[in-house]
Structure 1
Amino acid sequence: MALRLVRHGESEWNLAGRVQGQSPEAGPLTAKGREQAARAAGALAGCGAEAIISSDLSRARETAAIIAAELGLDVFTDPGLREQDLGFLEGRRFSDPLGEGTVQDVIDGLWREPRRHPEGGESILDLYERTHRVLSRYDGRDLVLVAHGGPVRVATTTADPSAGEPVPRLPVENAAVTLLGSFVGK
Structure 2
Amino acid sequence: MIELYILRHGQTTWNAARRIQGSTDIELNEKGRQAARNTGKAWEDMGLHFDAVYSSPLKRAYETACLASAYTGLEVHRDKRLRELCFGVLEGEDVTHINDPGTDPLHGCFFEHPERYQRPEGGESLEELCARVQSFLEDLMKKYTHGERILVAGHGAMNKAIMRVLKKTPLKDFWSGGFLKNCSVNIVRISPGQCEIIEEGKVYG
Q: TM-score, normalised by structure 1?
A: 0.84
Structure-2 residue corresponding to 1:42 = 41
Deviation at 1:149, TM superposition (A): 0.7
Residues 1:123 and 2:133 aligned together: no
Candidates 141, 145, 149, aligned match of 2:152: 145
In 1, Cα distance between equivalents of 2:153 and 2:98: 32
Deviation at 1:39, TM superposition (A): 2.0
In 2, Cα distance between equivalents of 1:137 and 1:151: 17
In 1, Cα distance between equivalents of 2:191 and 2:85: 21
In 1, Cα distance between equivalents of 2:193 and 2:103: 34
SS of 2:111's equivalent in the other structure is: helix
Structure-1 residue corresponding to 2:161 = 154
* Residue pair 1:80, 1:131 contacting (<8 A) in 2 also: yes
Deviation at 1:118, TM superposition (A): 1.8
Structure-1 residue corresponding to 2:203 = none
* Residue pair 2:109, 2:116 contacting (<8 A) in 1 also: no
* Residue pair 1:41, 1:71 contacting (<8 A) in 2 also: no
Deviation at 1:64, TM superposition (A): 1.2
In 2, Cα distance between equivalents of 1:99 and 1:66: 34
Consecutive unaligned residues in structure 2, runs of 5 or more: 195-205
Q: CA-atom RMSD, angstroms?
A: 2.6
Consecutive unaligned residues in structure 1, runs of 5 or more: none
* Residue pair 1:4, 1:143 contacting (<8 A) in 2 also: yes
Structure-2 residue corresponding to 1:177 = 185
Deviation at 1:16, TM superposition (A): 0.9
Deviation at 1:153, TM superposition (A): 1.0
Distance 1:167 1:185, change over 3 A: farther
In 2, Cα distance between equivalents of 1:174 and 1:11: 9
Query: Percent of pairs identical after alignment?
Result: 30
Deviation at 1:98, TM superposition (A): 11
SS of 2:50's equivalent in the other structure is: coil
* Residue pair 1:4, 1:180 contacting (<8 A) in 2 also: yes
- Give the structure with the larger strand fraction: 2
In 2, Cα distance between equivalents of 1:72 and 1:97: 39
Distance 1:96 1:44, change over 3 A: same
Distance 1:98 1:11, change over 3 A: closer
Deviation at 1:95, TM superposition (A): 3.1
* Residue pair 2:20, 2:93 contacting (<8 A) in 1 also: yes
Q: TM-score, normalised by structure 2?
A: 0.77
Distance 1:48 1:108, change over 3 A: same
Amino acid in the other structure paired with 2:49: G
Residues 1:30 and 2:29 aligned together: yes
Distance 1:35 1:184, change over 3 A: farther
* Residue pair 2:85, 2:157 contacting (<8 A) in 1 also: yes
Deviation at 1:142, TM superposition (A): 2.4
* Residue pair 1:52, 1:74 contacting (<8 A) in 2 also: yes
Residues 1:112 and 2:115 aligned together: yes
Structure-1 residue corresponding to 2:136 = 134
Distance 1:14 1:182, change over 3 A: same
